[in-house]
Amino acid sequence: MLAIRAFREGDEAALLRVHRSAIRTIAARDYTPEQIDAWAPEDADLAAWAERMRRNQPFVAVLDEGIVGYADVQADGHIDHFFVSGEHPRRRIGTRLMACLHEEAARRGLAELHADVSATAEPFFARHGFVVVRRQRPVRRGVTLHNALMRKRLG
């Protein structure tokens, strides 16, 4: 059964596996191999990754087999990471994580949620009430990607 819990120190490596799996399996439909390598590099800086996860303090989705998704919300309503493993698509894991972010936003009295959303995740965020503010072309490792700043006003 799916459970959602707070991040714990020691989760970092499993979260990196989910991140890679989501991008390499699901987002790979909407991005070129060069873009995928720039977004989810094989030679990621593991110390920097762990530091980012500890700073973000994501909610973590867990099935019997282990961690299958994670998502965070920051103090200003920014969602930095939102990923579900490519081995568990369309099983409402993202929906459960999104509900959790909304509950957390309500607890903190946030006025809005916003995220830089991949082309792959855009229909999912739209379904959850986010709208595109602007389209963006971020550069990672010298490679231009495409995403959209999406926002949802709360309350």
Ligand X SMILES: CC(C)(COP(=O)(O)OP(=O)(O)OC[C@H]1O[C@@H](n2cnc3c(N)ncnc32)[C@H](O)[C@@H]1OP(=O)(O)O)[C@@H](O)C(=O)NCCC(=O)NCCS
State the angle between helix axes of 12-21 and 46-56 in degrees (0 to 180), rounded to the nearest 10.
Answer: 100
**Among residues 51 and 89, whose Cβ is nearest to ligand X?**
89
Residue whose token pair is 């030679």: 43
124 binds ligand X (CB under 6 A): yes
Cα–Cα distance between 107 and 136 in angstroms, integer?
A: 30
Among 117, 148, 151, 152, binds ligand X (CB under 6 A): 117
**Among residues 9 and 85, whose Cβ is nearest to ligand X?**
85
140 Cα distance to chain centroid: 17
> Which x/- pattern over 33-62 shows residues binding ligand X (rule: CB under 6 A)?
------------------------------
Among 5, 55, 92, 141, binds ligand X (CB under 6 A): 92
Residue from 78, 81, 79 nearest 16 by CA: 81
State in angstroms the smallest separation of the CB of 55 from ligand X: 17
Among 2, 28, 49, 95, binds ligand X (CB under 6 A): 95
Among 7, 11, 20, 22, binds ligand X (CB under 6 A): 22
State in angstroms the smallest separation of the CB of 74 from ligand X: 13
Cα–Cα distance between 124 and 30 in angstroms, integer?
A: 14
Distances (CA, A) of 92 to 84, 88, 96, 99: 10, 9, 6, 11
Cα–Cα distance between 21 and 15 in angstroms, integer?
A: 10
Rule CB under 6 A: which residues touch ligand X? 22-23, 26-27, 82-84, 89-95, 115, 117-118, 120-121, 123-124, 127
